[in-house]
Structure 1
Amino acid sequence: MEVTLEVSSQGPIRSPWRDFWQRFRRNPMALVSGIFVLALVLVAIFAPWLSPYDPMISDWMALSAAPSWQHLMGTDDLGRDILSRIIYGARISMYVGVVSVTLGMVVGIVSGLIAGYYGGKADMFIMRGADVLFAFPGMLLAIAVVAILGTGLNNVIIAVAVFSVPVFARIVRASTLSIKQTPYIDAVKCVGAADKLILFRHVLPGTLSSVIVYFTMRIGTSILTAASLSFIGLGPEPDVPEWGNILAMGRNMMMAGVWHVSVFPGLAIFLAVLAFNLLGDALRDTLDPKLKS
């Protein structure tokens, strides 16, 4: 008896990561923004090795010096190298952006899952709280939180995290309301699975695509908000090499024709926020099933 084996002609099985990469790399803007964000992360990690000078050390022979080969982006009025301060500022800005958005995301995900899955009073309580936070402009809410807690880097992180919570909660709640009506959730309930298992193993993965997109875009917003708080004096100590602090220091120097102290940190903030927004748009186009075709 002869046994014939049929070999599938469909080719090798494609993994989701391979499909994601192929869709992602077709977007040139996605690649450019992704490379810039990766470079920003590397600069933040290796700041002590990439910085040409100590950001806190003054060169008293080059006060408010214009850009030159010795100081590529010039110096401030205390003789500190602007390029070195921007490099170290990338570390602080990335830290504030990632940590604050992560805190807001965790609280928002838990709140959204509870509100969407259980409904009733829990849903009403969580969503009305989100509506109260939505009633305040994000920057005004951050200023209010910092005014209550006091200035400082950690309080800036808390302030930025607070106004990130309601949006994550709404995104996750909307996805949860849709997912909990699907047949496979009913099947999991029928076998007696606990609510905690259903929420974090079966419902949460279905919400992650939207959460990842908003998480990426929110980092850029958080960097801008943290820099704004520092610019008006509600951020870290004035001598800390943070982009908003550097920008605030150059505010008064602009009238004296010393342009580089404000232009370069402002450009760093602009490019970082733009890169994260473009990367978020690219991830949305790649992960959204309706846009994959």
Structure 2
Amino acid sequence: MTSTTAMPTAASLSSPFQRWRRRFLRHRVALAASVILLLLVVIALLAPVLAPYNPYQSDWLAISSFPTAAHWFGTDELGRDILSRIMYGARLSLWVGLASVSLGTIGGIVLGLIAGFKGGWLDSLIMRSSDVLFAFPGMLLAIAVVALLGPGLNNVILAVAIFSVPIFARLVRAQTLTLRHSTYVDASRSVGASNTTLMFRHILPATLPSVVVYFTMRIGSSILTAAGLSFIGLGPEPDVPEWGNMLASSRSLMMAGAWHVSVFPGMAILITVLVFNLLGDALRDTLDPKAR
């Protein structure tokens, strides 16, 4: 009697990252969102090269002019090229979104790991503090923080980061509660692994897929919040080429029929937020085993 042994396939020999990459490349929405995001990053990084004009330069002969061959997106109330200001504004908006969510994610991960792993009064303290922050709408909390610290780009980043912390803390805590008594964690504990090692080497990696998904989606909402703060005058200086500032300065011109001064910055915000949300959904579909 002869026995045959099944040969391992290429899929079974590939790493988890390679398998995820194949799933991601087959996801059409993910590819489209990634291409648009890459284009936004290139525009932001190369704004000094790609922008046709200096964002602070005024053309006094073309004040509030509609789109023309010389100014593709038109000019604002001071004759500044809107396309150039949008390109430079991409640098600020992407930086605010990335920096604020990164700070919030780091703080939330640390607090969530401690709360879920330690439990007891420390867990109650962290979670009740998070509930207090959850009681405030995110935009209202950001306004309160900026009102206390003063307007400015760095304070906007800090304000957006603060109301991102409890969201990531609760997400990481929920998974830590499930993982802290798993077999591989108990095995590491039995051979003398410290609590720090258990949290950051064994539990944290298992929470990263969910964190990455929400991190991506949170960047879009943070960009929207930062633009809202700038719109009400709590962001950078009014002349800084930032999308929220551009919308704020266009309020009087919209009533006069100058639609272009608000439509193009608004479209930039819409496309950027939509791209991050679509990319987050695609990452969830390709990283979450329950979604496949």
1:81 lines up with 2:81 in the alignment = yes
Structure 2 CA distance for aligned equivalents of residues 53 and 251 of structure 1: 23
| Secondary structure of residue in 1 paired with 2:75 | coil
| Secondary structure of residue in 1 paired with 2:236 | coil
For residue 127 of structure 1, report the CA deviation from its aligned partner.
0.2
Structure 1 CA distance for aligned equivalents of residues 148 and 108 of structure 2: 22
Structure 2 CA distance for aligned equivalents of residues 11 and 106 of structure 1: 37
Corresponding residue for residue 143 of structure 1: 143
Aligned length: 288
For residue 220 of structure 1, report the CA deviation from its aligned partner.
0.1
For residue 149 of structure 1, report the CA deviation from its aligned partner.
0.4
Shift in alpha-carbon separation, 1:105–1:11, aligned structure 2, 3 A: closer
Corresponding residue for residue 242 of structure 2: 242
Structure 2 unaligned regions, length at least 5: none
For residue 119 of structure 1, report the CA deviation from its aligned partner.
0.2
| Letter in structure 1 aligned against 2:77 | D
Structure 1: which 4+ aligned runs deviate by more than 6 Å? Answer: none
Corresponding residue for residue 285 of structure 2: 285
1:10 lines up with 2:5 in the alignment = no
Corresponding residue for residue 204 of structure 1: 204
| Secondary structure of residue in 2 paired with 1:71 | coil
Corresponding residue for residue 21 of structure 2: 21
For residue 29 of structure 1, report the CA deviation from its aligned partner.
1.5
TM-score, scaled relative to structure 2: 0.96
Structure 1 unaligned regions, length at least 5: 1-5
For residue 26 of structure 1, report the CA deviation from its aligned partner.
2.4
| Secondary structure of residue in 1 paired with 2:250 | helix
For residue 47 of structure 1, report the CA deviation from its aligned partner.
1.1
* RMSD of aligned residue pairs (Cα, Å): 1.3
CA deviation profile, 1:110-132 (whole Å, cap 9, x unmatched): 00000000000110000000000
1:173 lines up with 2:173 in the alignment = yes
TM-score, scaled relative to structure 1: 0.96
Aligned pairs for 1:156-235 within 5 A: 156-235=156-235
Worse overlay, 153-162 or 30-39: 30-39
Structure 2 CA distance for aligned equivalents of residues 149 and 62 of structure 1: 38
Structure 2 CA distance for aligned equivalents of residues 275 and 10 of structure 1: 35
For residue 17 of structure 1, report the CA deviation from its aligned partner.
2.3
| Secondary structure of residue in 2 paired with 1:193 | coil
Structure 1 CA distance for aligned equivalents of residues 8 and 93 of structure 2: 51
